[in-house]
Amino acid sequence: MIVRSLFFATYRDMAGHDELAVELPSGARVADLVGSLRARGGGLARLPDSPVVAVNMDYAPLATELADGDEVAFIPPVAGG
Amino acid sequence: MIVRSLFFATYRDMAGHDELAVELPSGARVADLVGSLRARGGGLARLPDSPVVAVNMDYAPLATELADGDEVAFIPPVAGG
Amino acid sequence: MLGGALTPADGAALLFWGVVREQNDGRAVSQLEYSAYGPMAQREMLRIADEARARFGTGAIHVVHRVGRLEIGEASVAIAVASPHRGEAYEASRYVIEQLKQRVPVWKREGYLDGHAEWVPGFAPAVEAAR
Amino acid sequence: MLGGALTPADGAALLFWGVVREQNDGRAVSQLEYSAYGPMAQREMLRIADEARARFGTGAIHVVHRVGRLEIGEASVAIAVASPHRGEAYEASRYVIEQLKQRVPVWKREGYLDGHAEWVPGFAPAVEAAR
């Protein structure tokens, strides 16, 4: 299956992209996606190993199981207001 | 000496006037003015014997000594906002 | 109302309006009339704004109260606070409206749907020191 | 922004603006740029407004956050609350801005007078239940 990873602010600067399509085995969880991204090396190696993520626009724990087409956003500390 | 008494809201309704010039002996205090007004009878007899007053636009206790030309406002409970 | 109040040091602005409601204590209100001891009301509102600025360290505070007849949905009072920080803006705004209700010489006459009208009971201002 | 929010049941309206300041933690700020995860930010702001309405019993609550470049003195966020009573209006407005700062996916890049720019450190949103 394929999931879309979105990067914002400092994570965007690390990743060098706004988004990345990632292929994962079915049954994969958010934690597996994080591991897969960090293993690519480059700036992505600096992603925290427990980042805050939102799956399809809901904050979700790392144990969340992913489905094909899910949108996983990596959310660095927010600073609105 | 002469002081101006001003009446508002329910006190205005009691007094039947917006204001009244009152002649008082020199050295008179607010309490004396209140007594003098109540003694006139009619609606003014229903003025409380310890009303809240402002002398020249400052809230002032009944013991405040008055001077010629002072403006004494009788302030029923306020309800702005 | 806030236009002239903000300076480059301000990070928050808060505008409060008190608005005429259709109901007060369960009675259907058709209209309101405010009257005031105008010059003293003006002075007390300035004093309250000064107190709030000193107490909470805000920037400019402007307070306006209307008099005369108001319809439902119209604002009777507006309080604008500019402040470096938001916490102080909320505290100052709240302070101003609570003090205003307790000591500014303004009175309210409510007209009800049954044609009856009466002065709304209010707060007796505290009288402190001898002058 | 408040125009459509007020109903005849409302006795208070409160409008909060967060404004770009010239200083943040003692550094002279020349400009700011906000970016957001737009669709999710929109959703979180609606959720926060719903929570505040339910928790404090207010009327309508509208929340708007700007993105892109802002100059000093411009508003970055506006929160409008209509409410039957003023106490609840203040509490709801405060709830919305505090929650917004903790969980709405918006980021701020500050530019300083020395030409340097950086992402402002913020809050890590709490992640609760598994879905």
This model of the complex carries an ipTM of 0.93
Phi, psi torsion values for C50, nearest 5 degrees:
-65, -45
- The residues with which C77 forms a beta bridge, in sequence order, are C18, C65
> What does the pLDDT read at residue D28?
85
Q: What is the mean pLDDT of chain C?
A: 93
Per residue, what are the HEC states of A37-67? HHHCCHHHHHCCCCCCEEECCEEECCCCECC
**pLDDT tens sequence across B40-76:** 999 999 999 999 999 999 999 999 999 999 999 999 9
Whether the CB of D78 is below 8 Å from some CB of chain C: the reply is no
Residue B78 — pLDDT band, cuts 50, 70, 90? very high
Chains C and B touch (3+ CB pairs under 8 A): yes
Tokens 């009208």: give the residue.
Answer: C117
Contact C118/D at CB under 8 A = no
Q: How confident is the model at residue C114 (pLDDT cuts 50, 70, 90)?
A: confident
| Maximum CA extent, chain A | 39
* Alpha carbon of A18: minimum distance to chain D alpha carbons (Å): 11
> Rounded mean pLDDT of C7-25?
91
Task: Look up tokens 């949103």; give the residue.
Answer: D125
Which among D105, D127, D131 is the nearest to A78, CB-wise? D105
Helix axes D38-56, D86-103, angle to 10 degrees: 150
**Under 8 Å CB-to-CB from A35, ≥6 apart: which residues?**
A49
SS3 sequence of C88-127: HHHHHHHHHHHHHHHHCCEEEEEEECCCCEEECCCECCCC
Distances (CA, A) of C50 to A48, C45, C62, C85, D28: 50, 9, 10, 18, 28
Q: Which residues of D touch A (CB under 8 A)?
A: 18, 34-37, 39-41, 43, 65, 76-77, 97, 100-109, 119-131
Contact by Cβ (8 Å): C5, C62: yes
Please name each of the domains of chain A with its CATH number: 2-75 (3.10.20.30)
Instruction: Please report, rounded to a whole number, the percentage of residues in chain D having pLDDT higher than 70.
Output: 96
Contacts of B53 in chain C (CB under 8 A): 127
The pTM score is: 0.94
pLDDT score for C5: 82
What value does the mean pLDDT take over residues C17-39? 89
Kindly state the helix (H) or strand (E) to which residue D124 belongs, with its residue range.
none
CA D44 to chain centre: 11
CATH architecture of the domain D12-18+37-105 equals Alpha-Beta Complex (3.90)
The residues facing B5 across adjacent strands are B20, B72
* Closest chain A residue to the Cα of D77, Cα to Cα: A81
What does the pLDDT average to over C3-32?
88
- Smallest Cβ distance to B58: which of C18, C124, C131? C131
Residue pLDDT, tens place only, D36-67: 999 999 999 999 999 999 999 999 999 999 99
**C34-72 per-position pLDDT tens digit:** 999 999 999 999 999 999 999 999 999 999 999 999 999
Contact D8 C84 (CB under 8 A): no
SS3 content of chain A, % helix, strand, coil (to 5): 25, 30, 45
Residue contact D13–C11, C-beta within 8 A: no
Nearest CA distance, A62 vs chain D (angstrom):
9
The distance in angstroms from the start CA to the end CA of chain D is 35
Contacts of residue D40 in chain A, CB cutoff 8 Å?
Answer: 54, 57, 73
Q: What is the pLDDT of residue B60?
A: 98
Task: Tell me the nearest-neighbour CA distance from A14 into chain D, angstroms.
Answer: 13
CA dist B62 and A11 (Å) reads 70
Predicted confidence (pLDDT) at residue D131 exceeds the cutoff of 50: no
State yes or no: pLDDT of C131 exceeds 50: no
Question: Residue C130 above 60 pLDDT?
Answer: no
pLDDT of residue B31: 98
B8–chain C Cβ distance below 8 A for any pair: yes
Which residues on D lie below 8 Å from A54 (Cβ)? Answer: 37, 40, 105
> What is the spatial distance between Cα C105 and Cα C39, in angstroms, rounded to a whole number?
10
Distances (CA, A) of A8 to A18, A33, A78: 7, 16, 10
Distance in Å, alpha carbon of C108 to nearest chain D alpha carbon: 15
pLDDT band per the 50, 70, 90 thresholds, residue C30: confident
pLDDT of residue C28: 85
Angle between helices D86-103 and C86-103 (to 10 degrees): 180
- Which tokens go with D131? 């879905």
- Residue B65 pairs with which residues in a beta bridge? B29
pLDDT digits (tens, 9 = 90+) for D95-122: 999 999 999 999 999 988 888 999 999 9
**Residues of chain D positioned with their CB less than 8 A from the CB of C81:** none
**Which residues of D are less than 8 Å from A81 in CB distance?**
18, 65, 76-77, 97, 100-101, 106
Contact B78, B63 (CB under 8 A): no
Within 10 angstroms of residue C22's Cβ, the number of other Cβ atoms is 16
Q: Which residue of A has its CA nearest to D101?
A: A80
- Is the predicted pLDDT of residue D129 greater than 70, yes or no? no
Name, in order, each residue with C-beta under 8 angstroms of D81's C-beta and a sequence gap of 6 or more: D5, D13, D14, D15, D52, D58, D59, D60, D61, D89, D92, D93, D96
B vs C: CB pairs below 8 A? 94
Q: Chain C partners of D72 at a C-beta cutoff of 8 Å? A: 8
Query: B77–C124: do the CB atoms touch at under 8 Å?
Result: yes
> Residue C120 — very low, low, confident or very high, per pLDDT cuts 50/70/90?
very high
Indicate the pLDDT class of residue D3, thresholds 50, 70 and 90: low
Confidence (pLDDT) at C129: 62
- Of A57-61, B30-34, D22-26, D69-73, the one with minimum mean pLDDT is D22-26
Instruction: Name the residue type at position A59.
Output: Y
Counting beta carbons within 10 angstroms of the beta carbon of residue A66, is it exposed (0 to 12), middle (13 to 18) or buried (19 or more)?
A: buried
Find chain C residues with C-beta within 8 A of B10's C-beta.
Answer: 107, 119
